[in-house]
């Protein structure tokens, strides 16, 4: 059975109609990277930190420099109890829509954990379908270290994928814009046309695709 908070996402327990969780078990943080870009998969990560081996400097990945994210990525991999990175493909994004594909990637990340969490905290205001107790935390990547760690793993993983895509298709500028719809990216789309890695369900890509037919 899927567990859900009985109140608005993002609330924490106080005994007054808000979600209270005090049961035993491990806590996993979950976050994603890549909902907004025009290209590439959406990537999600789930992390269970080790309270005995705290990691200094965890924060929302968007507030960290690329070099700092890389350092923390290695620290998380080395010191977390377990972590899992998963994704939903471009094909799944186009077929399901980006929200449902994001939920799918998060679900896969949680299922990929070597240890079963007793509680899952997810960044944002929506929850994937899970078979454990879960809560959505708005701005959780700023508030919950495990979610911060997940945001870093997801962001670094996806950025590396965009770097590889840039090497394969250097005319699009993926290493710089990471697939987002910048002016440079839109000009490349118009000039070179969409790649298989572009999300055809996103309007700028659909427009570029139709103009090439």
Sorted by where each starts, the structural domains of the chain and their CATH numbers stand as 27-166 (3.30.420.10), 171-212 (no CATH)
Could you give the CA distance from residue 198 to residue 31 in angstroms, rounded to a whole number? 22
Tokens 């896969």 belong to residue: 108
Reading the block at residue 42, the tokens are 């959406």
The predicted structure's pLDDT at residue 24: 60
Could you give the CA distance from residue 190 to residue 187 in angstroms, rounded to a whole number? 5
The predicted structure's pLDDT at residue 25: 82
Contacts of 146 by beta carbon, 8 Å cutoff, 6+ apart? 27, 28, 29, 47, 48, 49, 121
Reading the block at residue 102, the tokens are 């994001």
Reading the block at residue 89, the tokens are 């493909």
pLDDT (tens place) for every residue of the chain, 213 residues total:
234 433 333 333 333 333 444 446 899 999 999 999 999 999 999 999 999 999 999 999 999 999 999 999 999 999 999 999 999 999 999 999 999 999 999 999 999 999 999 999 999 999 999 999 999 999 999 999 999 999 999 999 999 999 999 999 999 999 999 999 999 999 999 999 999 999 999 999 999 998 877
| 122 three-state secondary structure | strand
pTM of the predicted structure, to 2 decimals: 0.88
Could you give the CA distance from residue 95 to residue 101 in angstroms, rounded to a whole number? 9
| 43 three-state secondary structure | strand
Contacts of 151 by beta carbon, 8 Å cutoff, 6+ apart? 31, 33, 45, 60, 61, 62, 123, 141
């Amino acid at each position: 059975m899927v567990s859900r908070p009985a109140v608005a996402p993002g609330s924490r327990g106080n005994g007054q109609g808000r979600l209270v969780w005090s049961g035993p078990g491990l806590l996993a943080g979950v976050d994603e990277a890549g909902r907004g870009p025009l290209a590439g998969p959406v990537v999600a990560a789930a992390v269970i930190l080790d309270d005995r081996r705290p990691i200094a400097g965890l924060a929302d990945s968007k507030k960290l420099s690329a070099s700092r994210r890389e350092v923390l990525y290695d620290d998380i991999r080395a010191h977390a109890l377990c972590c899992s990175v998963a994704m939903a493909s471009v094909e799944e994004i186009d077929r399901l829509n980006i929200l449902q594909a994001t939920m799918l990637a998060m679900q896969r990340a949680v299922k990929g954990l070597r240890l079963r969490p007793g509680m899952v905290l997810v960044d944002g205001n929506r929850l994937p379908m899970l078979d454990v107790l879960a809560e959505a935390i708005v701005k959780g990547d700023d508030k919950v270290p495990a979610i911060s760690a997940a945001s870093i793993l997801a962001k670094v993983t996806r950025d590396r994928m965009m770097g590889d895509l840039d090497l394969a298709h250097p005319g699009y500028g993926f290493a710089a814009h990471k697939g987002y719809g910048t002016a440079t990216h839109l000009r490349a789309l118009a000039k070179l046309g969409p790649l298989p890695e572009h999300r055809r369900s996103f309007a700028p890509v659909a427009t570029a695709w139709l103009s090439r037919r």
